[in-house]
Structure 1
Amino acid sequence: MAALGDLVAIDDRTVLVLGQELDVGHDQPDVANALAHRAGDTLVLVDTGVTAAFRAALREAADRVGPWSRALVLTTHGHLDHVANNDLADELGVPAEHYVPAADLDQMRDPASYWVSSFDRITGLAPLPAPSALAGQVVSLFQPMRPFGATTRTYEERPLERIRIGSQRFTGWTFADGAVRVLRSQGHCAGHVIVHLRDHGVLHLSDEGNGACGAMADADQLKIQTVLGAVALLFEENEAAILTDGHTFAVRRGAAAVSHLDGLLEQATALQAAALGLTGESGRVRPSAFTARYAEAVAGLGVGGANPNAMFTAMMAVNQLRELGLRPESAEPDAPWSRPALHDPGPHSRP
């Protein structure tokens, strides 16, 4: 059974460092998987997780893929479970660079406010503490938290590049003479990127494949589904051979990776179809009732994604209502959601 900090050798220059699942009830933070890779003389770390134990595992992985004389630390997005050890870039003893997405800077500086805004949306929809209390509880799990180092910059300080991989066209940034490609995806959250290690065929999806429906307030369902389709095509065209991600603790190769990505897209369409059925003919629902039935649908379809729990399921439910085109009728707690009127019933519409 996989444990926090286990090292999975992908090839002689690439190691996946395994994280762990979230368990708020037992004060256990989730820890995202990270990659250690050597491109020429450059150590590449993709995400840094959280906890001192994971930091030690990262150092071991870095030593395993050596030798290297410079370092590049790449943050896929600003969520707590991916960024806490980012200052490791300052301790590697070699010239180092560290990049983070500009759109995620605010949440990295003030994660409590980011989580309060996420939990505000689900007040009364799940048996959870008040948003501020819950955000404080969640953030307190992720310690020590060091998301910035002396060399931290944003990707957006570099000129944006058009990156062609096979028949696919992306925008993003390249490093190590093009051997490391950072591709903008921005589905799981506003600043999200994925990473392609060109010469080794490794594609790190990070959290874009976390589940059939993004949970966070800044998630974009279309972008999630678009990047899953684009990545599947990279595997079909043999532009990528190995798929890793932030939370499933698995290394998928070739056809197995394509099957996994197609499965995520199938889950997304099945879950949206189930959600549509829950809105009824009127298309008007109370979010509390919808969330309860939505949780049953999620469980029945087996599409809870990474770290399934009542908190994330309620967040997914609110996003699903918006994806279906429904909007709250007022700012009152548990106010009904319905579809906006398509026609203005004002005087000009009268005969």
Structure 2
Amino acid sequence: MTALGDLIEIDDRTVLVLGQELDVEHGQPDVANALVHRTGDTLVLVDTGVTAPFRAALRAAADRVGPWSRALLLTTHGHLDHVGNNDLADELGVPVEHYVPARDVDQMQDPATYWVRSFERVAGPAPPAPTADRLVSLFQPMRPFGATTRTYEERPLEQIRFGPLRFSGWTFADGAVRVLRSQGHCAGHVIVHLRDCGVLHLSDEGNGPCGAMADADQLKIQTVLGAASLLFEQGRAALLTDGHTFAVRRGADAVSYLDGLLEQATALHEAALGLTGEAPHVRPSTFTTRYAEAMAGRGTGGANPNALFVAMTAVNQLRELGLRPESGGEDAPWSRPTLRNPAPAPVPPGPGAGGG
């Protein structure tokens, strides 16, 4: 049994600080795991979670991996459970750099609007705006920016090679820290590779086989899972960590875990095809109920499983199958577009045509 702020020691200069699961009914925010690492004289923090107790755990972890005289804070994406303590960078008392993904800045500045956008796609008894406000209120204090915060995109984009694999992203600390663009779980998401200890931190790209957010990209999620598996098979990464499973996976175990997520994605796609079948119209509420049963039967709930997130994932799955809502009404049916050639354009009459 783990508790908020517990540490998993990876080596004498790297620890994983454990977060906690979401429990909205009891007013408990989820808190993402964070990595604390030292390379040379540079302290590297990957995400900062949220809540004052987690902030204290980060400070203790930073002291544990020391000594350091510089700091680098890397935000993997803008979701509330990853960014609440970002102003910790201002309290470290050393020169510090802090980077966030540019595509996530809007949601970091206005998280309620971001969550309304995801919730309003789902038919349900609770209206989206109050639901979003209630969720956002759990994540306090919320300080996603510090005095030195910049976006990754202000730096020149680099091509980063791992043997035959190519990524785009940014390197820090003389190449000891690599930030790789993934952009699957949400629009700005990045993953982080720590060269000295061989850790590949997926953050939330491994939350499940399919994304729930309105800005999730299923293809990118599954592409990065496949690329990560290859990194382990080739020995280019040794340890796998993420934002919400309280474990460090090594070598073959990491490959098995990643391949399992990809197999789940394929199985859920097949299940969704069976649920839609040849029906001309599909009600999202009906599809969601049956899709949730398929997810439960396959053990594919992902991180922080709850009915609302499952419904959001189900809507994304309908889009993956090529269905579209027929109107903007609540629980309006979805269907596949009719495939037909456009009508030929009328031929204008030639010179002299017409009656006389």
| TM-score, scaled to structure 1 | 0.97
1:110-167 CA distances to partner (integer Å, 9 max, x unpaired)? 000000111000033xx5x210000000000000000000000000000000000122
Distance between the aligned counterparts of 1:305 and 1:312, measured in 2?
10
Which region of structure 1 is more displaced relative to structure 2, 288-297 or 79-88?
A: 288-297
Structure 1 residue 118 corresponds to structure 2 residue 121: no
2:246 partner letter: F
1:160-180 CA distances to partner (integer Å, 9 max, x unpaired)? 000001221000000000000
1:75-114 CA distances to partner (integer Å, 9 max, x unpaired)? 0000000000000000001000000000000000000000
Check the 8 A contact 2:122/2:331 in 1, yes or no.
no
**Aligned match for 2:264, one of 259, 264, 267:** 267
Query: Where does the alignment leave 5 or more consecutive residues of structure 1 unmatched?
Result: none
- Matched with 1:28 is 28
Distance between the aligned counterparts of 1:284 and 1:11, measured in 2?
55
Distance between the aligned counterparts of 1:11 and 1:271, measured in 2?
37
What is the 5 A alignment of 1:134-283? 134-283=131-280
Distance between the aligned counterparts of 1:288 and 1:235, measured in 2?
40
Shift of 1:200: 1.2
What is the 5 A alignment of 1:293-308? 293-308=290-305
1:6-57 CA distances to partner (integer Å, 9 max, x unpaired)? 0110011100000000000100000000000001100000000000000000
Distance verdict in 2 for CA 1:170–1:345, change over 3 Å? closer
Aligned residue pairs, count: 346
Shift of 1:345: 6.9
Check the 8 A contact 2:76/2:191 in 1, yes or no.
yes
Check the 8 A contact 2:123/2:285 in 1, yes or no.
no
Distance between the aligned counterparts of 1:220 and 1:299, measured in 2?
22
**Aligned match for 1:324, one of 318, 321, 324:** 321
Distance verdict in 2 for CA 1:281–1:307, change over 3 Å? same
2:224 partner letter: V
Helix, strand or coil for the counterpart of 1:200? coil
1:253 partner letter: R
Distance between the aligned counterparts of 1:308 and 1:87, measured in 2?
29
Helix, strand or coil for the counterpart of 2:161? strand
2:191 partner letter: I
Distance between the aligned counterparts of 1:192 and 1:284, measured in 2?
34
1:172-194 CA distances to partner (integer Å, 9 max, x unpaired)? 00000000000000000000000
- Matched with 1:72 is 72
Distance verdict in 2 for CA 1:283–1:274, change over 3 Å? farther
2:37 partner letter: H
Distance between the aligned counterparts of 1:159 and 1:224, measured in 2?
24
RMSD across aligned positions (CA): 1.2
Structure 1 residue 12 corresponds to structure 2 residue 7: no
Query: Where does the alignment leave 5 or more consecutive residues of structure 2 unmatched?
Result: 347-356
Helix, strand or coil for the counterpart of 1:208? helix
Distance verdict in 2 for CA 1:53–1:337, change over 3 Å? same
- Matched with 2:339 is 342
Distance between the aligned counterparts of 1:38 and 1:283, measured in 2?
57
Helix, strand or coil for the counterpart of 1:38? strand
Structure 1 residue 109 corresponds to structure 2 residue 106: no
Larger Rg: 2
**Aligned match for 2:285, one of 276, 280, 288:** 288
1:311-341 CA distances to partner (integer Å, 9 max, x unpaired)? 1000000000000000001111111101111
Shift of 1:284: 2.4
Distance between the aligned counterparts of 2:164 and 2:57, measured in 1?
37
- Matched with 1:54 is 54
- Matched with 2:354 is none
Helix, strand or coil for the counterpart of 2:204? coil
| TM-score, scaled to structure 2 | 0.96
Distance between the aligned counterparts of 1:333 and 1:346, measured in 2?
33
Shift of 1:344: 4.1
Check the 8 A contact 1:123/1:131 in 2, yes or no.
no
Helix, strand or coil for the counterpart of 2:73? strand
Helix, strand or coil for the counterpart of 1:113? helix
Shift of 1:342: 1.2
